[in-house]
Structure formats: structure tokens, C-alpha cells
Chains A and B, each alone.
Chain A
Amino acid sequence: MNFFKRFAQNRGALVGLVILGLVVLLALLAPFLYPDSPWRMVQRPFLAPGEVSGFWLGTDVMGRDVAAGLAHGAWVSLLIGLISTVVALAIGVPLGALAGYFGGKIDDALMRFTEFFQTIPNFALAIVLVAIMEPSTFSIVLAIAIVSWPPVARLVRGEFLSIKHREYVEAARLVGQTHRDIIIKQILPNTLSPVIVLASLMVATAILLESSLSFLGLGDPDTMSWGYMIGAARTVMRQAWWLSVIPGVAILLTVLALNLVGEGLDDALNPQLARAR
């Protein structure tokens, strides 16, 4: 069976893929659907969804179009989620690979370093980092990456530990392949499936982290994001519930979709472990 067929066997994963597709589409089309800045005040504040035609999700405290904010926010959320995950992988995979492959003192040193990051609560560290570096897209991405690489390193190390004793790796050592070749060509490709699954979930976590940071006012002040929208609307929760609920649902759906896709990837990449359906 091919990869997509196995993936599609998991119905939830297909639903997730469709939702994710829609969110990506929304993010891509944002500049065309709402060419103006989402920060522009365009109507009376506190319009309920559908109250005035053309503003089908209403307007916020300052009279900004909620639909425009949602579309532009999708772009920001996805971008931050993806980039921070890529950065986290770029830190975690090599560290985990080196620790797992060489073992001994190198492993000890790298793993103590990893634990140093793991022992500090994620979110607290992210807040501190963003606060120190001043909120910007760059600092947020970096902060999220820094708090989320340790699990990657742990996972990759574990995979390396088990794979480095396989006979094909020993065979590669015997023919005289260099350590670098063995790590990159022999072992790494075989560790990718769990890493891909983990990465899809990390994107979801990163989106949540970004939203939480923005909610606390630590978002990039120049970009509209879902977290910021909720944060800005929390004081008017009772007058205009939709201002928090709409971006909230957007976050929920996106994170859910990513989790479903992650699960589907897990099934597709590890067919032996796929649950009987």
C-alpha cells in the first residue's frame, strides 16, 4: 500500500488535512481578500457578525474588520508555527544524533545541556526570552524554537541509540564509511518517521505558544495574530463574545487539524503499529 492510502485510512487525518488545507488557503488568499491592513479601522466598533453586510464576522473594539484579522492572523500563526519548528529541528536533530551516536561523555554533556532547557517550564522561558529580546516576529520564533527543541533531541537520541547497533550500521562501519556518512546516510533516514510525526505536533504547540504570548501582549506589535485578537477582546468578553470566540475557534481548529494530521502520519509511517480499524 502506498503512503497516501495508508494515511487516508485514518478518517480523522483526512478531516484534519482538509481543515489544514482551508487554513493554509485562507492564509495565502489573505492579501487578495483583504488587501488593506487588518489594523485599519473600517466601521463602527462592536458590530456583531452579519450586522452590516460586508463585515460578516463583525468588527472589534476599534472598528477593525474581524474577518480581515482572522485571514492575516492565519498567515502569521502558520508561519511562526512552521519556522519555529524548523529551527527547533535544526537544533534538536543534530544534538540528539551526536549524543545518540557517540554516546559516553559526549552523550552525557549534550543530554545535561538538554535537561537544563527541559527543567525550565516552557512558557515561562518563552516569556522571559521574548521580553528580553523585545517582541518581534524574529524573537518570538527564536523563543518558541528554544523552548521546543529538547524533546526532538531526546527522540532522535533514542532512535540513534537503538539503530546504531543494527547490523546494517555495523556493516557500514566495516566497509569503512566515515562517522558523518553513517550518521547522515545510514541512521538519520531511519529516524525520520517519528521525527516527522513529532514535528507536526510541534507546529500545533508553536501556534498555541505564539497565541499565548500575543494574548499576554508579547506578540509582534506590527502583525495581527489570533492570540492578539483574543487578548485585545478579553476585556469586552461580556459585550462582544464573538471577538474572542472567533479567533479562539480558529486556533482550536488549526491545532486540532495538525494533531489529526500528525496521527495520520504516524499511522502511515509506522504501518506495523497502526491500530486496527
Chain B
Amino acid sequence: MSEPTRESGAPLLRIERLSLALPEGADRLYAVDNVSYDLKAGEILCVVGESGSGKSMTANALMGLLPTGVHVAKGRALFDGQDVLAMDELSHRALRGRRIGMIFQEPMTALNPLMRVGEQIAEVFEAHGLLTPRARRERALALLEEVRLPDPTSALRAYPFELSGGQRQRVMIAMALALEPELLIADEPTTALDVTTQAQILHLVKDLQARRGMAVMFITHDFGVVAEIADRVCVMREGKIVEMGEAREVLDHPRHDYTRALIDAIPADVVAAVGRPADTVAAVGRPAGVVAAVERPGDAIPPPRDGTDSTPLLSVSGLDKVYRSSGGWFQPKREVVALDGIGFSLGKGETLGIVGESGSGKSTLGRCIVGLNRPDSGEIRLDGVDLSALEGRALRAHRRRIQMVFQDPYASLNPRIRVGMAIAQGPIANGVPKAEALAQARTLLATVGLDGGAAERYPHEFSGGQRQRIGIARALALNPELIVADEAVSALDVSIQAQVLKLLDDLKQKLDLSLLFITHDLRVAAQICDRLIVMQKGRIVEHGSAREIFTSPQHPYTRELLEAIPGRREAPATATAGVL
């Protein structure tokens, strides 16, 4: 296919005063309000914003994917001089896929689960009536090679579920690139992926873009990703553009307060962020960090900070868990080792971070500790009592002492139970009179920064961050000694993340709690954890104080994780050099 020639400088895509109207009764009038920007060929534009900022809406309008009820109120979207929004369905269809490609956030749901990968790629050509079936297969193979899928020949015959998340996203990219589009729209393509995979995919996108001279519209919420990939940045908030400019310029000298807040919410320099979000600036400063690390070189487990005593609250030893799928008549049984000889201890008042990528067994570990899963063998001792040996009533009595904050603020609250009752149900189940429990729930809501009136409302009336606060209040209702937070802030926007982390930290201090913080995000772990455990494939590969792990990681996997953090600038390397 021949690349249409275009005089350089003329934008490939020009959005002109575009407004997209939301249906009546929505929280604002326009999803996107009077937005204009250009995108030149060979340029990567990052559209950044938090959830609800309308950052994906323009792209959806371009692709004809607007949700029902949302419509174009005014404005144009000129793609190579033609208004895409005014096109009839037929010419729009010719444009989609062929000249504008799109990749989505969730590669599992964006691929047809019952269709082999090769056929799905070939289908792109088929939809546009191109090539013979044989040639389609060959192109599919070439594309898979181009996106650097390991073993592309067998990947052609694989079903999506046989591939990992990163591999699926590569397939999606191959499909989007199949017809050599001039514009690639990527809607949060790395959000669902692990950090190391994310780094690879970002690299791939950038590489392909440079090789093909495509324009890329990259939609993301993560300024780390922006720093990694963008030429230009467009920051959106509540449907309006708050700031737009060259990436370097915006990142280094954000003019708007909102942009600054977003950038600050992500510590670009992870090492400096080690410590609590509540810490004073002086304590966070890098020199102090380096000195602290130098002061106790080689300590495997440094003495905990003040206020944490050395008697362990929780000690885990020899924990094993294997998931077995029963297998069918024609399928062998499958075994996945989730936990393999895990052992660690957690002191009173301490925050221990468990870091790992998906499949590392970190969530299984958390679930075993709270008692949602049963380990195959091993001991979990809370104050010396082995929890894995308890059953029924005795177990129920001990459950009070370890509570959990869940990942998904939308799934973790029962939509049909009022917030007050959701918090009070724990104490009620443990014999506290209902009225008293409900009164206590109101106090707890105040503790987590919501007003008492919230108790009468249903969960759907709250935002994600507020729901997570409710989840925390629920966990606190039973006066636990240990809180297991399983990816507790992963589903939240960065600015909200910081608030929730601060809340957790404050509560921990005030109530003398221990915290087991499970996360895939090292940047988050850096902000809250005293000590860290790095897990890979069910094993602990590294174990040490947060500062040590960030400044001088010992295990290659830890190093790989640290390097994969998007938007990591200068700092860690120099800091590490200083220590060594």
C-alpha cells in the first residue's frame, strides 16, 4: 500500500472546537467541551487525564464508538482534510482500521476468545476485502514478527487465552497495524499490564511509530507513561484542555496547578519517595535517603523505625499453595504453584509491602493470611496462634483480628446495602447490638474523612476514592490488629491514590495497626512501606527495607522491576551510584 504523500507541517488530524454532549441528567453538560488540537504525522500525542476527564471521548468519536446518549454537539474532526464526524457510515468504515487503527485497554476482552490469533488478524484484511486467504496468513505472520511476539508461527494458531496479557496486547497492536494506518489510537493500552510488560509495549509502540512514521494518539492517566513516550502532551480535566505543549516542557515546567498536582502525585524519583507520604520534605530528600542507606550497609533487615517493636505480630513460615485444575477427559491436569515456601514476619505497627507482577502469588498470599484461601501447608501465626489450624467458630473469632481492604472499590461494597450497615455488619455479626454498631459506623466514617450522613446512602452514590474510604472504615470496624490491603489503590486515579495512601498511613499511626500492603506498583509501595518483599512465581526473591530495595536491589528481577517503572528519570541511577 502506498503512503499518501502529505506536505510536512499540515496536521494529519485536526480537532476543531469539538464538543460532545452528554445525555441529560449527567453530572455535566459536555463530555468534551470545545476542544481543539492538532496531530501531525510522525508525532506521538499523549492525552492525559484522570477518569471522567473525557480523555477517551474524542478518540471514541473519531472511531464512531461513542456510547449511546453521547452525541457531537459542535465542532469538526478533520482527518487528512475530511470531517470524520460528518461522514456516512460507508466511508467511515473504509477509514476505520485502514487509515486509523485502534488498540484498547483490556486485550483479553478486545480479542475474540473463540478465534485463533491468526484468523483474527486475517479478518482485518477480509473486512476490507484485501488479499487472498493465503497472503493474509503470510501478512499475519509477518505482523506478529514485527510486534516481536515470541514464536510467531505457533502464536498464529493459538487462542487468546493461551497468551499472556502482554502477548495479547502485541496481537492487538499487530491487528491495529495490519493495514498500515496513518493514525494509531491507543486507549490506555498498558494500564492492564505489568510494569515490565508495560515498558516493553511502550518501547514497541515508540519503535513502530518511528519506523512507520505513524501519528499516535496515546490516551493514558499515567504521567510516567507520558514521560516515557510523548512528543506532545494534552492534559484534560472535566472535558476541557487545561494544558497542552511539548512533553518536556509540560513535564518540567507545568504551568497549570492541576498538571502540577498530577505530576507530583507520581514520584518521578522513586528513591526520594521512599518513606511516608506524610513525611516532611526534609525527610524525603534524597541525601538523607542515601545517608540512611549508607549507614547500615549490608543489613538484610534493618531495625524497624521507632514505635515498632521487634516481637512479630504475624509470622508466616513454609507456606505452600498449588492451584490444581481438575482437567477434562482430553486435558491433562494443570498445576500452578502460587506460593512456594513463603516465610516472613511482620512486626507490630509495621508496614510490609509485597510487590510482584500478576501471577507472582502475592494476592494468594494475602488471601491465605486473611483466611479466604487455605494454604496446602505451612503456618500462619498471629501472636503465636496458628491460624491455618483453626476451623469454624474459633476461626471466626480470630478473623476479627485480620481485616482486608479490597482492590475494586466498585465490587467490594454490596450495591443493595446502605453504607452504614455495610460497616456495621461486622460488629453485628460479632454480637454488638445493632444501634450501637450503626452509631460506631458513623464515627468510623468521620475517621476516614466522610461525613456521618454517608451512612444512610447506597454505595453507588460515591466515587471510587470515597468507596475505598468506606472499605477501609469497614475493615476498621472490628478493631483489627492487621490490615491486609490487596491492591487497595490500584483502581484509583493518582491524585486519589495519594489521599488514600495518606489516610491508611495516618490510621496506622493513630490506631497502632500493622499493614500488609500488596501491590504491583513500586511507586505506590515506595510511598508507604517500611519493608518490602519482592515475589516472583510464588517465591520471595528479595526481602529488605524499602530504602535498600530501591537504592541497591540485589536480585536481577527486582532490578528489572525498578527499571521498568515508566517515567523514571535520572535519579535512581545516581542514587544507586552514590551508595555503591
Contact = CB atoms under 8 A, between A and B. Distances in A.
Contacts of B397: 176
A4 to B, nearest CB: 16
27 contacts: A166-B411, A167-B411, A168-B412, A170-B404, A171-B406, A171-B471, A171-B474, A172-B414, A173-B399, A174-B370, A174-B372, A174-B399, A174-B402, A174-B403, A175-B399, A175-B400, A175-B425, A176-B400, A176-B429, A177-B426, A177-B429, A186-B414, A186-B417, A189-B414, A189-B416, A189-B417, A190-B415
B403 A175 contact: yes
A169 B408 CA distance: 13
A104 B248 CA distance: 58
Given A174-B372, A175-B478, 20 more contacts: A167-B406, A167-B408, A167-B411, A167-B412, A169-B414, A170-B372, A170-B404, A170-B406, A171-B471, A171-B474, A174-B370, A175-B400, A175-B425, A176-B426, A177-B425, A177-B426, A181-B425, A181-B429, A185-B417, A276-B68
A190 B430 CA distance: 24
A176 B371 contact: no
Contacts of B25: 1
Interface in A145-195: 166-178, 181, 185-186, 189-190
B215 interface: no
B64 to A, nearest CB: 15
Interface of B: 25, 68, 370-372, 396-397, 399-400, 402-404, 406-408, 411-417, 422, 425-426, 429-430, 471, 474, 477-478
Given A167-B408, A171-B404, A186-B414, A176 B430 contact: yes
B371 A174 contact: yes
A167 B471 CA distance: 10
B474 A175 contact: yes
A171 B412 contact: yes
Contacts of B371: 174
Contacts of A1: 25
A189 B422 CA distance: 14
Interface of A: 1, 166-178, 181, 185-186, 189-190, 276
A176 B430 CA distance: 7
Nearest to A188: B416
Contact of B396 (A176, A186, A189): A176
Contacts of A174: 370-372, 399, 402-404
A248 to B, nearest CB: 40
Contacts of A181: 425, 429
A166 B429 CA distance: 19
B427 to A, nearest CB: 8
Contacts of B412: 166-168, 171
Contacts of A175: 399-400, 403, 425-426, 429-430, 474, 477-478
Nearest to B398: A176
B413 A168 contact: yes
Contacts of B408: 167
A168 B415 CA distance: 9
B209 to A, nearest CB: 36
A97 B404 CA distance: 26
Contacts of B370: 174
Contacts, number: 69
Nearest to B409: A167
A206 B397 CA distance: 48
A241 to B, nearest CB: 47
Contacts of B400: 175-176
B307 to A, nearest CB: 27
Nearest to A277: B68
A177 B407 CA distance: 21
A176 B412 CA distance: 16
A54 B403 CA distance: 75
B412 to A, nearest CB: 4
A167 B400 CA distance: 17
A249 B282 CA distance: 85
Contacts of B406: 167, 170-171
B433 to A, nearest CB: 16
Contacts of B471: 171
Nearest to B397: A176
Top 8 closest pairs, chain A to chain B, by CB? A175-B426, A167-B412, A167-B406, A168-B414, A189-B416, A177-B429, A176-B396, A167-B411
A171 B413 CA distance: 8
Nearest to B69: A276
A176 B371 CA distance: 11
Contacts of A176: 396-397, 399-400, 426, 429-430, 478
A190 B417 CA distance: 10
B519 to A, nearest CB: 16
A276 B69 CA distance: 9
Contacts of B407: 167
Contacts of A171: 404, 406, 412, 471, 474
A186 B477 CA distance: 18
Contacts of A166: 411-412
A276 B397 CA distance: 50
Contacts of B404: 170-171, 174
Nearest to A186: B414
Contacts of B68: 276
A238 B384 CA distance: 89
A177 B474 CA distance: 13
Q: Which of A168, A173, A181 is the most central at the interface, judged by chain B CB atoms within 10 Å of its CB?
A: A168
Contacts of A168: 411-414, 417, 422
A175 B432 CA distance: 12
A170 B399 CA distance: 12
Contacts of B413: 168
Contact of A190 (B402, B416, B425): B416
A253 B411 CA distance: 41
A185 B428 CA distance: 13
Nearest to A274: B68
Nearest to B400: A176
A197 B417 CA distance: 22
Nearest to A190: B416
A1 B460 CA distance: 13
A176 B416 CA distance: 19
B403 A173 contact: no
A190 B372 contact: no
A203 B223 CA distance: 57
Contacts of A189: 414, 416-417
Q: Which of B412, B414, B426, B429 is the most central at the interface, judged by chain A CB atoms within 10 Å of its CB?
A: B414
A178 B429 contact: yes
A173 B416 CA distance: 17
Q: Which of A1, A166, A169, A174 is the most central at the interface, judged by chain B CB atoms within 10 Å of its CB?
A: A174
A105 to B, nearest CB: 14
A107 to B, nearest CB: 14
B477 to A, nearest CB: 7
A189 B477 CA distance: 23
A8 B406 CA distance: 38
A66 to B, nearest CB: 47
Q: Which of A172, A175, A177 is the most central at the interface, judged by chain B CB atoms within 10 Å of its CB?
A: A175
Contacts of B417: 168, 185-186, 189
B318 to A, nearest CB: 24
Contacts of B416: 189-190
Nearest to A177: B429
Q: Which of A173, A176, A185 is the most central at the interface, judged by chain B CB atoms within 10 Å of its CB?
A: A176
